[in-house]
A and B are shown apart, each in its own frame.
Chain A
Amino acid sequence: MATIEVRGLTKQFGDGPPAVDHIDLASEDGEFLVLLGPSGCGKTTLLRMIGGLETPTEGDVLIGGRVVTHLPPRARKIAMVFQSYALYPHMSVYDNIAFPLKAQRLPKEEQRKKVAWAASILGIEQFLNRKPRQLSGGQRQRVALARALVREPNVFLLDEPLSNLDAQRRASARDELQQFQRSIGTTTIYVTHDQVEAMGMGDRIAVIDRGRIRQIGTPKEIYDDPADTFVATFLGTPPMNLVERDGLIFGFRPEHFTPANGSHSDDVVRFQFVVHREEYLGSERLLYGEIGSAKAVARFPATTDVELRIGQPVEYVVARRHLKFFNPRTGERTRD
């Protein structure tokens, strides 16, 4: 087991802004750390630098406290699962899984044991003689995981391993993958642009935008205490409402945005909310509308009755403790 740390890591492709821009990040031992960010923000590039597949323009990578920046991938004892799975198409599933062991020149008998062990953990014993093209997406993913697992690596690097699965499979794979990581306890860096995956699986989440880390923390911290407007709007469906008022940006989650119902409490801030449209999602209802010129959304459990007056301003409130304030110029949190 080992920790992963990067210091001032930067990657510049040609001209233009760097793909990864002076990132500092340190994992704990055995942690499941998620890198979350929109497409093109530099997640894969960061992961590939940690793995040694990309040379950093600047900065260092440390694995288990040792600087490995100039070591080739094979000297880093890492395992990586690629978005495309990257199975060797001409080899059987068995040979795919055994490949890292062959590279280590492990005796044949030991190879067989380890492959059998990895295959049984992932439930793919019955496919060992097949070629990758004869497997479904989910089965391929498990083969890729088995191939990563047999080496008993220091570190797992996973690049959107679930993005090729359909929604239903993804949910169960998410569950399996997390349990799997917990049981082997290997430090894992998991890249995704899917916030549901990130929230559900990560011990901590690092939110990345344009090559920089905007915030790092537990899913709860990231959701409840976003460090800036980017994080606030990137997480949550629908995202946090942002309304400019008194020279500040007021931010609040749609679930904290409720009708005033004539209450006169001082612990709340009041908004005039004009509803344009309702969305009924079975378990919940979403009201889309505007506060002044800013778009806003309110969310209710489907079980609550809310009076709906489309196009009419209605007084809504947010409890003060649920309000976050952001600097309108920088987008950063200001002390409340």
Chain B
Amino acid sequence: MSTATGRSETPAIAWSEDADVPEGRYLLDRAGLLGPLMLLPAIIYIIGLVGIPLVLAVLYSFSNATVGDQSINWVGLENFRTVVQNATFRMALKNTILFAFVSQIIVIILANILALVLSAEFRGKRLVRFLVMLPWTTPIALAVLGWFWMLDNVASPIDALMRMLHIIGPDTIFDPKARAPILDIPFGDRNVRWLSKPDLARLAVLTVHVWRTLPLATVILLAGMTAIPQDVKDAAEIDGASYWRQLIYVRLPLLAPIMAVAVLYGIVFTFTDFTVVYVLTRGGPVDSTQVLATWAYFKGIQGSSLAQGAAIALFLLPILVAAAIVMLRLARRSETA
């Protein structure tokens, strides 16, 4: 009985009050309300997971906090002084910059070539595209473990291959008696032992960074290339420009802003990366592949000097802020263009 009347009344109420309902009903249509509402989760996320840790890190870096005692006693620049005087820190800083920039220089060259190849029509293109994307989709720790095995002192398949091709082993250019001319490393008739020698270990880290960030850069460039209007490419062709002229004067300049985005992403990824070095070398041999992220961890968490760890990590900040500013600039320019 009551449900029956309720049901028959509902539409009547809705219709009769329709005239003055809009207030509440269209509340979400108002940009002034909807905007902040939709931004809220992002703001909560940023404050909770980025802002608070950042503030804490800054506070810790000026204190003498340890893992055991996290109370904050102000010690001024003491931590920074200690940290900077440490040779390993300087190595880590050098490595971090080296890995990020060198890997991205290589990546942007390879990504351009790959994107050019992948934007052409050929058989099996989808398969090749899939293979190129693979490194990006593999979980990083798993992928680095794979590399760890590939570069293993005993089981390395790369060494096995090199042995087969007579690059290492007795009576080759890397014969121990000959002493290797490159990198000052005596390859024996034994394995190369990639991760046991500073230069080779750095090369290994660099390779993994390139391998890992190449797919994203390639995909970004591919998207950028398809965004160049066909008519503009055709016009260059009609205007009599050779392939290289078209590439250098038309395609690459039009791609430059997108390339900058790809490089910045790559730099941010490699600059802050912890996993590759941690899994592959633990910063070794003898701290020669240490980067800021791993060194901060070893000092701050394992060495239990939270304050020094925070101070080390803060050295990442200037470069990241610079990268963020450039990215925002590029975004704004593409908006107004």
Contact = CB atoms under 8 A, between A and B. Distances in A.
B254 A103 contact: no
B249 A99 contact: yes
A99 B235 CA distance: 10
Given A53-B234, A84-B231, A103-B245, A90 B253 contact: yes
A48 B241 CA distance: 17
B73 interface: no
B232 A103 contact: no
Contacts of B237: 52-53, 72-74
Contacts of B254: 88-90
Interface string B243-255: 0010001100110
Q: Which of A72, A80, A85, A86 has the most chain B CB within a 10 Å cutoff? A: A86
Contacts of A84: 229, 231
B42 to A, nearest CB: 32
Interface in A73-132: 73-74, 78-80, 82-90, 99-100, 102-104
A132 B223 CA distance: 23
B230 to A, nearest CB: 9
A82 B241 contact: no
Contacts of B238: 51-53, 73-74, 78-80
B239 A103 contact: yes
Given A86-B231, A89-B232, A151 B250 contact: no
Contact of A88 (B240, B242, B250, B337): B250
Given A88-B250, A90-B254, A133-B337, A99 B239 contact: yes
A84 B143 CA distance: 46
A80 B337 CA distance: 26
A199 to B, nearest CB: 27
Interface in A160-205: none
Nearest to A104: B240
Interface residues of B, number: 18
Nearest to A74: B240
B211 to A, nearest CB: 32
Contact of B235 (A52, A72, A80, A104): A80
A51 B234 CA distance: 10
B235 A86 contact: yes
A133 B240 CA distance: 24
A147 interface: yes
Interface string B262-300: 000000000000000000000000000000000000000
B235 A82 contact: yes
Contacts of A78: 238
B240 A82 contact: no
B240 A100 contact: yes
A52 B337 CA distance: 32
B225 to A, nearest CB: 15
A34 B154 CA distance: 75
Contact of A74 (B242, B250, B337): B242
A7 B253 CA distance: 39
Contacts of B231: 82-86
Interface string B44-85: 000000000000000000000000000000000000000000
Contacts, number: 66
Given A53-B237, A74-B240, A133-B337, A86 B232 contact: yes
Interface in A34-61: 48, 51-53
Nearest to B231: A86
A88 B245 contact: no
A52 B253 CA distance: 25
A48 B238 CA distance: 10
A88 B238 CA distance: 13
B232 A151 contact: no
Contact of A86 (B229, B241, B249, B253): B229
Contacts of A53: 234, 237-238
Contacts of B240: 73-74, 100, 103-104, 151
A104 B229 CA distance: 24
A88 B232 contact: yes
Contacts of A104: 240
Given A90-B253, A90-B254, A133-B337, A100 B229 contact: no
B235 to A, nearest CB: 4
Q: Which of B231, B239, B241, B245 has the most chain A CB within a 10 Å cutoff? A: B239
Contacts of A87: 232, 235
Contacts of B242: 74, 103
Nearest to A131: B337
A103 B250 CA distance: 12
A51 B239 CA distance: 11
A67 to B, nearest CB: 19
A82 B254 CA distance: 19
A102 B249 CA distance: 11
Contacts of B253: 90
Contacts of B236: 88, 99
Nearest to A51: B238
A89 B234 CA distance: 14
Contacts of B337: 133
B189 to A, nearest CB: 55
Contacts of B232: 86-89
Contacts of A51: 238
Nearest to B250: A88
Given A84-B229, A90-B253, A100 B234 contact: no
Nearest to A159: B231
Contacts of A72: 237
Interface of A: 48, 51-53, 72-74, 78-80, 82-90, 99-100, 102-104, 133, 147, 151
Given A48-B234, A51-B238, A151-B239, 4 more contacts: A82-B234, A99-B236, A100-B241, A104-B240
Interface of B: 229, 231-232, 234-242, 245, 249-250, 253-254, 337
14 contacts: A52-B237, A73-B237, A73-B238, A74-B239, A74-B242, A79-B238, A80-B234, A80-B238, A85-B231, A87-B232, A88-B235, A99-B241, A99-B249, A100-B241
